Each structure stands twice: as structure tokens, then as C-alpha cells.
Structure 1
Amino acid sequence: MFRLFLAACAVSLIGTAAAPAHAGPVSDRVYQPVPLSQTEVEFRGEPPLPIQAKTRDGLELEGAFWPPEEGIDQIVVVFHGNGYNHLVSAYRAEPLRIGGRGVLVASYRGYGDNPGTPSEGGLYSDAEAWIAKARELRPGARIYLFGFSLGGAVALQMAARDDFAGVATMGAFTRLRDAAPLLARPFIKERYDNLASIALVTEPALLLHGTRDETVDPKMVERLEEAGGPNITRINLKGGGHWVPLDSIAGGIWQQWEAAEALAPGDTPTAP
């Protein structure tokens, strides 16, 4: 059972930018954090452990961690979208624990009870800190990245900068401005340019997208696929919206990653 109590609505992705510019900086509306005091979740199994990571600019951030079981060398670092906080992300990401895999749920500056103010550069620095934490926790583990919505941009940017065992996004856009209402686009300063990032991604990458996503047009994922290389696999989630629960697809995500790792260069995995 999942219970979430919010004092104010935290809308997903760039519906937040729909307000006119005179209502305040549009960039402030890109980020919609919710304090932990306004969040209550009930996990299916054992709750994750609280865990901290320190950024290069000295911020102590809190996330959540399910360690991998004995003999498992896989950890997925999860980056949430523009709303809520790491507890909601942990509830959503819990199915990725399937098979005893480790799940490290990252969070950002200004989200939950974390210090700082979110920004594009700040989120990238936060992601680097969480990836370093994952490697510190389990040296030699195979590290995967999963990003939802805005977190997809964070995951793709990290994959463009460094090597990982695999990466997956859900509900990713092409560029932040592309996902905003036309009138708001001139006022958005953040880039979050996934078209540029994905062209530099060399690891196996899965682009999951709901066919009825009303927040990010499914045509955007087609453009992302075209901008990437043969390592990119697009997976259409039939009838799905912006977020599609992972309960029934987490196993398939891991199977796709592992199959792609095992393939010889030039081969292409078959989507489930």
C-alpha cells in the first residue's frame, strides 16, 4: 500500500512551467520538491537504509539504499523526476530489487530535507556524488543507471561522461524546452539536452516510454532513439502514461541489460 500526503500538489515535469513569466521565474517551477514531513510511504518489503553522499561543493545529501544480496554484484542508481523526493522514488524503484540486486535511490539538493537549491549543474554534481557512493559501497560492482523524466536527463548526462554497465530512462524528453508549453520556452534557462547526451552514450541504453504519455510526447523518444547509436533500445510501454509502475517490468529491464552486456558488438537485443 502506498500513502502519500502532500500539502501542495507536486506536478510532474514541465506542466510546472505553464505559468506566465510574470508569475515568477519559470526555472523555479521546473523543480517541485516535497519535504519528507509531507510524505509517508509504506514499502512492500523491508524499507531501505538511509544513506548520505557528499557533493564536491560540500552538501550532505540523503538518499535510500537497498544493499545487494550476498553474491550479487549489481547496483542500480535511481534518479527521480522533478517532483516529490527520494522516499517516493524509493517506493517506485523498489521492484528493481528483484533477484537480490542493489538499489541506491539518489536525491538532489533542495529535495526532501536536503540543503541547497536545485539547478542543472547542481543536479549533475549530486548525481556524480551518488555514483561515487555506489562505487564506494561495493567496489567492483556493476553499476547501472535508471532515470525517470527529469532524472532521465541526469542519467543520460552521467552515461555520456562515464562508463556504466547499462542505463535506462522512462519518460525522457529531447530537451527541457521541448517539453514545456510554447509560451514558457523562452524563459527556461536549463538545457537538459538529452539529444546531445545520448549521442555520447556507448553503454546499453533502454528508452522506456508510455504510449499514452501526456506529459512528454512519445514522439520525443523516437527522436532520442534516432540520435543515439546501435546500443539504444526503445521500449514502448503500451497504454502507459508518464510513469509506468515497475512491478511488472523490472525483471524485463534487468534481462535487457544483461542480454545487451552479453551481446557481441553490432548485435541488437530484442525488446520484450
Structure 2
Amino acid sequence: MRLLTFLLIVLGFYAAATLLLFLEQRSFIYPAPRAREDIERLLPGLQPVELRTSDGLTLVAGYKPARAGMPTIVFFHGNGDTLRGAVAATDRLAEAGYGLLLPEYRGYGGNPGSPSEEGLVRDGQAALDWLARAQVPAARTILVGNSLGSGVATDLASTHTVAGLILISGFSSLPEVAAAHVRFFPARMLVRDRFDNAGKLPRVRAPILLLHGTEDRMIDASHGQRLAGANSRAALMLVPGTGHELAYLPQSQSAILTWLAKHHGGA
């Protein structure tokens, strides 16, 4: 009887913890920094612009026009990052003459709204819509997604004709990442926001570069390998000795510049 009582108590705590994880999952997935960045101070020539989403939000972003004849890079940052981090991951690309559009997500950086998969994809679409109005077509746009941003970039690349897709520390799907970190709960079933990159990547027709650190403890390098197997256009570069900070290391931008020069004739 005591054993049965103990088991019921344990099961009760487990059920309560599972319910809490389910209800509060987006606060764990999107630990959104709230402070608004002074965009003009982040990078010379970077100017604040406003993106208007299809569900009525006005979001801040940073924009630096491309040098004549150069493509524009749209960079989607990771789940706990900010525009400052996005600049750190792209400053050498801007210096080489590529245009930059750095969108900030809903709920991040003083923006209205609450993050979700549907919402972040809307935010990404708003970035492409803004570029189209600025006479920068999707066909002259390269999408870059770091970590969580890989989900936004892949979704857009699977539904638009873009010049290229670059994923840094990308994942095969968000439930797969959750399952690796929350082993004692049915994470694959509980996670509502799927970001199924492996399922969407076969629909991408643009050249694809995948960068992943071999020592990444947040998103294992096996995710990059699965993504590479999902599309024959994908080139996978595993960077030895680097972890989830790869996007901010010199190796990342150097590899991107080399790849861009090969595919788009850039610097």
C-alpha cells in the first residue's frame, strides 16, 4: 500500500511537471530579450526600418543597403539573441558590400506581440515584403538563419525563390532538439512549434550552405548531417572544435564569404 501511494505521488508530480512544460513551453523556447537596441549605434550605415506583418504588428529592423550589384542578406538570429548579436555575426559581410536586413522578432527588442512559429514566419515574410518594396527582389536575397533562426529561414526559402540559404547551427526539427534536452518527458509530442527544417529543406531550390560546430552541445552536429541529407544542393561544413557560438566566430563569416564568392561572385 505504501509503495502504491508513493508511486501515485511520483506520477502526480510527473504529470504536473509535464503539464507545466506544455503550458509554459514558449517561455522556455523564446527567452526574448526585451530591451530595445539603438540600431544606428550597432554598425556604421545601419538604419532602423519598420516591418509590418500580415497580422498587424509593426516591428523594428536594421537595414544597410548593398553595394551596387551585390545581393542582400537577411539574417534571422537565435532564440535568446538580439540585433547586437546579429550584427556581430554579419559585420564582415556588410564590410564586403553585401546588403543587410536584420529583422527583430515579435516580442523581442521592445517589439509588440508574442513569439511562436507562425508568428516568427510572419515576421520573416514581413522582412521579404519590405525588401520587395525597397526594390530588392527575393531572387537577389540570401537568407541566413542561426539556431532558432534556421527555422524561419528554411520556411521562407521553401516557399520563395531566393538566391541562397545559409543555416548556422541549424536543427532538423524543434521537437528533436527538445527531446535531446528533456529526456524524461515526451517532448516530441508536447512541442507545439515544430520548425520541421528537414521536412521543408527538400523544397528549397536555391544553393544551400550548412555550417555546424563539431562540439555543439545545444544542437548536435548530427542535425547538420541530417539536413545535408535532405537536399542534394546542400553543402555541409563541420567546423572542428567549435560549439553553438559558431555564428559569432571568424570561421563562420569567412566560410560564408568564400561560399558567396563562389555562388554569387561577391567579395
Normalised by the length of structure 1, the TM-score is 0.81
Corresponding residue for 1:219?
A: 222
Corresponding residue for 1:11?
A: none
Displacement after TM superposition at 1:64 (Å): 0.8
Q: Aligned partners of 1:241 and 1:189: how far apart in 2?
A: 27
Q: Aligned partners of 1:192 and 1:220: how far apart in 2?
A: 13
CA RMSD of aligned residues (A): 2.3
Q: Aligned partners of 1:222 and 1:139: how far apart in 2?
A: 32
- For residues 64-111 of structure 1, give each alpha carbon's deviation from its aligned partner in whole angstroms, at most 9, with x where no partner exists: 112213x23310000011113223322332222132111110111111
Secondary structure of the residue that 1:167 maps to in structure 2? Answer: strand
Q: Aligned partners of 1:260 and 1:91: how far apart in 2?
A: 23
Alpha carbons 1:74, 1:143 under 8 Å: kept: yes
Secondary structure of the residue that 2:167 maps to in structure 1? Answer: strand
Corresponding residue for 1:243?
A: 245
Corresponding residue for 1:119?
A: 116
Q: Aligned partners of 1:101 and 1:209: how far apart in 2?
A: 22
Corresponding residue for 1:50?
A: 48
Corresponding residue for 2:34?
A: 35
Indicate whether 1:103 and 2:100 are aligned: yes
Displacement after TM superposition at 1:258 (Å): 4.1
**Aligned counterparts, 1:182-221, within 5 A:** 182=183, 183=185, 185=187, 186-221=189-224
Q: Aligned partners of 2:230 and 2:128: how far apart in 1?
A: 25
After alignment, is 73-82 or 244-253 more displaced?
244-253
Indicate whether 1:135 and 2:102 are aligned: no
Alpha carbons 2:147, 2:168 under 8 Å: kept: yes
Corresponding residue for 2:10?
A: none
Greater per-residue helix proportion? 2
Q: Aligned partners of 1:195 and 1:83: how far apart in 2?
A: 22
Note closer, same or farther for the CA distance 1:21–1:210 as it changes in structure 2 (3 Å cut). Answer: farther
Note closer, same or farther for the CA distance 1:260–1:68 as it changes in structure 2 (3 Å cut). Answer: closer
Secondary structure of the residue that 1:199 maps to in structure 2? Answer: helix
Q: Which consecutive residues of structure 1, in runs of 5 or more, have no partner in the other structure? A: 1-18, 263-272
Alpha carbons 1:52, 1:60 under 8 Å: kept: yes
Q: Aligned partners of 2:61 and 2:40: how far apart in 1?
A: 16
Indicate whether 1:256 and 2:253 are aligned: no
After alignment, is 163-172 or 128-137 more displaced?
128-137
Letter in 1 for 2:234: I
List structure 1 segments (4+ residues) > 3 angstroms apart after TM superposition: 39-45, 138-141, 246-249
Aligned residues: 241
Q: Aligned partners of 2:96 and 2:59: how far apart in 1?
A: 28
